[in-house]
Structure 1
Amino acid sequence: MSRDHVARGKPTRRKYLTYGGTLAGSALLAGCLGGSGDGSADPTERPTDEATTTDDGTTTTDGTDPYTVSMAPVGEVEFESVPENWVAYDGGYADMAVALGQADGLTGVGNAGRYYTYVYDELPGVEVSRGTVEANPEVRTKEQFYALDADVHLYDPQMLVNWFDWGEADVEEITENVAPFFANLIFRRSDEWHDYRYYTLYEAFEKMAQPFQETERYEAFAEFHDEFVASLQTRLPPAEERPSVFLTYEGTTEPETFSPYRLVDNGTSKKQWRDLGVTDALAGTDIENLSTSNRNELDYENLLEIDPDVMLVRGHERKSPSEFRDTVLAYMEDHPVGRELTAVQNGRVYRGGFLYQGPIQNLFLTERAAQQLYPDEFGDVTGDEELFDRQRVADIVTGEF
């Protein structure tokens, strides 16, 4: 497929990117196409012999003719050719682009501190430039978007509005003068401002495949994922024998309080735990999920009332399993109240996984979770047993499928 596009710097450069639909909670952007903003509107079709229409109504081509894609909250976005360069806010969307074979197009990340690229080290031929990531690790201002001059921004614009004090006019400005936004904040579902459609991990991944015209690669990945998860689920113990799990965030090595996550929240950051059928230790309580508006924390006395079988602590993904045990778990074992927790007494306190995860990362995190929760069935989490075929994943990413 052709990836040629209008040369940079010429007056017509931005004609091939137009932005339409609505932004949730805001008026229609001036000059935009109409649309419901929920990703379900039929796109504007353009007559061409090469055009095809996907099941969700998105018009795609072989890359030589304009095509339209849609996703809440941005609505319809038209591309004249496949984007070559991209910026992603979080590691989940960056990982989606890498899975679609677009690693070379990465120009920056909005939150590089939580983009864990070490998983690619286990996939032959798959590489992401840490130099590029570290050169532009917090892309959040209009000036940075202008400087990077990417072809598409994998950001939910409403996140910029609600987290970084952008106005709707700022979103429109960057859309018109640089490139469109195309993403939806999906890692959790507890933010009041997110009053538009959510997507599952693979629904969002399918959406990401459309601007890059990589639907076949997405389908190969989805097939592999489904086979992998199904193979694990056939080996799970009965529900009544599965551990109760408390998922939390606490980034210090000497934790005194813990921010709670609810596993019943259908955000993508908890996908592996749902796929493995765990019981939320907070079930039946009125404790709310961590969100923009809820920053409540639990202390050790609160945890003793819950007393989970397993504790999963986020904020330590750059530690090895042994480093985590020698710091965080060791501190909890010495704590006068923490040592009374069942999970601490049994040594079942583990790293809690990535806040943002894409399809490649999810495979590794699901493997890790299975071994954390069911070591008798899947092997110890510190062992060498692999539960999925790394080479097959690498082949999909590199186009050998």
Structure 2
Amino acid sequence: MSDDTSTTETPTRREYVKYGGAVLGGGLLAGCAGDTGSGTSPEPTETTTTTTETEVRDGTATPADESYSVRMAPMGTVEFETVPERIFTRLTHLAGMAFALGRGDDVNAMHAPDYYHALWNQFTPRLDGVSVDWKGLYSSWTPSKEKLYELDSDVHLADPAGIFALDKWDMGDVREVDENLGPWFGNCYSDTHQEPPAEWAEAYEYYDLWEMFERVASVFREEARYEALAAVRADVLATIEADLPDAGERPTALMAGASDITNPWVYKTESPGFLNAHIRPLGAREALGSDVDSGVKIDMEAMLEADPDVIFVLGGMSPSMDVTAVRETLEDHSVGSRLSAVRNGRVYAQGARYQGPILNLFQLEMTAKQLYPERFGEWPTYEGGPYPELPEDERLFERERVADVINGMV
């Protein structure tokens, strides 16, 4: 990939942020020294030096001269000498992590920013004092190296293996951004446990959403925020697990894309990866048989053969999607109208699979109510607008606590 904006001879601004491992510095191509791809998920590591003064940001004391390091595959161990400020993201699970840490407004790029700005702000009305403005950011699904120089980010919350897989990017480009701008720190193939490019296979490990969030929180020295939100999630999961019906009594379910509901992309609920972080803990039975892959298009006849008790409409909570029209389309369809989920009024809107930790909390609550209303309370009929205002005694987590954590009151 050609680039006229820089040369390797010019001074870099990476003197304060550098890789402690050797993955991008040559070790990857030489055999991936560092990460071994063992499948384990070791804890983040930190190494500190002498502290001479302390800065306070969002109520959190951060030693100004304290270096630290955080490890995550496929990057290896990434060393920092100051907390990053300008944040590049590509996929919204990582933008959502910045948001959860009170850094949402420091994000300068993300995939489909206007869409996800609108979607995230379907949930923020339920969190007092919390907002985010992602409108008009650089849309970074296929970022250019030139644009990354223009953005001049301190950290790139994006998977270097995923960037490498894009057209017009090679290992030299990935390494150049790391050396001249800011480090890569992301992992995208954990979404469905996809195979990474062969060049990165030995360095790769898979993480769940919250394992990844723990590491991202360490990048920003926001471990206390992570611990507080992880405790909220643990309480939600404990509440759910304590009241799940027996496996044989649970409904069958599938997720379907909203854009073409009579010929939808469909997804299984128990597939590995963090895209199912909001639904796999609920233990619904798979509607799709073993002969149907997750992430394929099917027609209404195939949908009727599966005949799910519950259909989750992905993206149905986006302001750009009319979920009522989706339901009516199925009800008016000669085959769709015969589906059990349609006949029983169990076609439900969902938010995003690349969700981040805050949407994950809301979607765990939402999905529990949609699957098991007799156990966790009825989910109100959703016809658009913000996440419904549930009675306080029917909520599975405390909104005020989550808002306080995002706002730095840990």
TM-score (norm 1): 0.83
Matching residue of 2:57? none
- Distance of 1:109 and 1:17 partners within structure 2: 22
Match of 1:212 in 2: 220
The equivalent residue for 2:56 is none
1:89-168 alignment to 2 at 5 Å?
Answer: 89-112=90-113, 113-114=115-116, 116-118=119-121, 119-131=123-135, 134-138=136-140, 140-168=143-171
Within 2, Cα distance between the matches of 1:22 and 1:259?
36
Distance 2:67 2:98 in 1: 21
Q: Are 2:359 and 1:361 equivalent residues in the alignment?
A: yes
Per the alignment, do residues 350 and 187 of structure 1 end up closer, same or farther by CA in structure 2, a change over 3 Å counting? farther
Q: What does residue 173 of structure 2 align with? A: 170
Tell me the distance in 1 between the aligned counterparts of 2:189 and 2:108: 22
CA shift for structure 1 position 147: 0.8
Correspondence for 1:276? 282
Residue 347 of structure 2 is matched in structure 1 by 349
Match in the other structure for 1:259: 265
Deviations 1:79-129 (A, max 9, x none): 110101101112211111121122232222134234632122321222212
Q: Which residue of 210, 219, 224 corresponds with 2:232?
A: 224
RCO (CA 8 Å, sep 6+): is it higher in 1 or 2?
A: 2
Counterpart-to-counterpart distance in 2, 1:356 and 1:164:
23
Query: Which secondary structure does the structure 2 equivalent of 1:130 belong to?
Result: coil
What is the identity, as a one-letter code, of the residue corresponding to 1:288?
D
SS at match of 1:126: coil
Q: Is the 8 A contact 1:247 1:260 kept in 2?
A: yes
Distance verdict in 2 for CA 1:37–1:89, change over 3 Å: farther
* Count of paired positions: 368
Which residue in the other structure is 1:375 paired with? 373
CA distance in structure 1 between the partners assigned to 2:168 and 2:268 by the alignment:
27
Matched, 1:241 2:241: no
Q: Does 1:324 align with 2:330?
A: no
Q: How many Å separate the matches in 1 of 2:51 and 2:146? A: 40
Secondary structure, in 3 states, of the residue corresponding to 1:400?
coil
User: Deviation per CA, 1:28-70, whole angstroms, max 9, x where unpaired?
Assistant: 36899951265759969565479xxxxxxxxxx8352222111
Structure 2 residue 306 is the aligned partner of structure 1 residue 300: no
After TM superposition, give the deviation of residue 209 of structure 1 in Å: 1.0
> Distance between the aligned counterparts of 1:71 and 1:37, measured in 2?
12
Deviations 1:287-317 (A, max 9, x none): 1222xxxxx4211111121111011122433
Q: Is the 1:37–1:71 Cα contact (8 Å) retained in structure 2?
A: no
Q: Which residue of 1 aligns with 2:7?
A: none
Q: 1:163 to 1:299 in 2, by over 3 A?
A: farther
Amino acid across the alignment from 2:153: A
Task: Give distance in 1, aligned partners of 2:133 and 2:64.
Answer: 26
- The 1:248/1:105 distance shift into structure 2, 3 A limit, reads same
- Letter of the structure 2 residue corresponding to residue 35 of structure 1: G
Q: Deviations over 1:323-371 (max 9, x none)?
A: 312x111111111111111111112112243120111111111121122
The amino acid that maps onto 1:277 is: G
Contact 1:21 1:32 in 2 (8 A): no
Q: Write the distance in 2 (CA, Å) between the matches of 1:155 and 1:298.
A: 31
- Could you list the per-position Cα deviations for residues 131-178 of structure 1 after superposition, in whole angstroms to 9, with x for gaps in the alignment? 4xx232336111111111110010011112224452111111111111
Alpha-carbon spacing, 1:335–1:44, altered in 2? closer, same or farther (3 Å): closer
Distance 1:165 1:320 in 2: 32
Q: Distance in 1 between matches of 2:46 and 2:233?
A: 32
CA distance in 2, matches of 1:22, 1:126: 38
Unmatched runs of 5 consecutive residues or more in structure 2: 1-9, 53-61, 382-387
RMSD value, Cα: 2.9
Partner of 2:18: 18
Q: Match of 1:334, as an amino acid?
A: D
TM-score by length of 2: 0.81
Deviation larger for 198-207 or 32-41: 32-41
Distance in 2 (alpha carbons) for counterparts of 1:32 and 1:83: 29
Correspondence list, 1:12-51, <5 A: 13-19=13-19, 20-22=21-23, 28=27, 34-36=33-35, 38=37, 40=42, 45=47, 47-48=49-50
Alignment CA distance shift 1:374-1:179 (3 Å): same
Q: What is the one-letter code of the residue matched to 2:265?
A: S
CA 1:190 to 1:251, structure 2 compared with 1: closer, same or farther past 3 Å?
farther
- Structure-1 residue corresponding to 2:196: 193
Q: Is the 8 A contact 1:250 1:257 kept in 2?
A: no
Distance in 2, Cα, partners of 1:13 & 1:40:
30
Corresponding position: 1:387 with 2:385: no
